[in-house]
Amino acid sequence: MATVVLGIAAAGVLLPFASGAKIRAEGAHRTLAAKLASDLMEEIIRTPSKQVDGYSYIEAQGQVKDSAGVVFTDPSYANFSRDASCAYVYVPQQGGTYQPNFVLITVRVYYRGRLIASINRLVAK
């Protein structure tokens, strides 16, 4: 009887720790995803604007690359994937003509196929 009571009490004490570990892991994944999104965004911004029109980029899960183009071998990156797209944004000008003055860059990072971070940035052409 004492073992059963002790087991129930131990479960009640340990259960919050298990859920806390899950929340901590989720936070670590989101932090890493934000860094991966920011790194890819900066890489795209460094691309000459003439090459950005229709730009599309996809990395499969486990194939995330660093700025040198080398796939990360650290197991922390194994379940991440990311993609990016660029599109011109047309803004009406005073003369009645429409010229693309801006590029909208969108970077998305996924963890196990689920969107976990997304960054949009409007850049002058």
Whole-number Å distance between alpha carbons of 119 and 43: 13
State residue 112 phi and psi, 5-degree precision: 55, 40
Q: Can you give the pLDDT of all 125 residues of the chain as single tens digits?
A: 888 877 777 777 766 666 777 888 889 999 999 999 999 999 888 877 666 667 788 999 999 998 888 999 899 899 999 999 988 887 776 455 667 778 889 999 999 999 999 999 988 87
* Structural domain of 46: 2-124
Q: Where are the alpha helices (DSSP H) in the chain?
A: 2-45
**Radius of gyration of the CA atoms of the chain, in A:** 22
Number of H-type helices and E-type strands within the chain: 1, 4
Which pair of tokens denotes residue 47? Answer: 């691309």
Q: How many domains does the chain have?
A: 1
Residue 82 burial by Cβ neighbours in a 10 Å radius (0-12, 13-18, 19+) = buried
